[in-house]
Structure 1
Amino acid sequence: MVGLTAVQFIASATILSVMTGWSYTMSVIIVTVVVTLYSVMGGMYSVVYTDVVQWIFNIVGMALIIPFTLQAGGGLEQAVHSYLTC
């Protein structure tokens, strides 16, 4: 669980830093404080609830990004060709 928590903090801080232009260090501090306060105030129920919501956002986001990724990579035909020639 420590590894999973660290990865979530790193990913969240990176996203916050890129989206706001804040320094990575400041983003890590903000993410850590927000997640810690939320977890302490809401308990395990809040942690499970947010994990489910994040999972749904991840799945929907990945499904929505597929067409954009294929277009940027030259289409499905190019992706398959690149995969088969590796």
Structure 2
Amino acid sequence: MDLMEFLRQGGSEVTGRDLPSLTRADDLQELGIDSIQALELIAWVEEQLGIRIPDEELVQVMTIFDLCAVIERRLPEPDVTR
């Protein structure tokens, strides 16, 4: 899964406008994603991926890098035995 494209799609859905290609250095506020939209994006991610992100971790999310790190910690490990 291309996490950047996944988050760009989610951000576009939440904000109602097309977001540019994302980099891990992008700041959510500079992308025009306010705090309410950030929560909506997190809820979208949780629903799409079937994961739960604890509220304690959300207060530290300021950039796409932060968001990716939180998501990647919650994703199941790939099955490398196949």
* TM-score tier after normalising by the smaller chain length: under 0.3
Higher-helix-fraction structure = 1
TM-score, normalized by length of structure 1?
A: 0.27
TM-score, normalized by length of structure 2?
A: 0.28
Higher-Rg structure is 1
Task: Tell which has more relative contact order, 1 or 2 (C-alpha 8 A, sep 6+).
Answer: 2
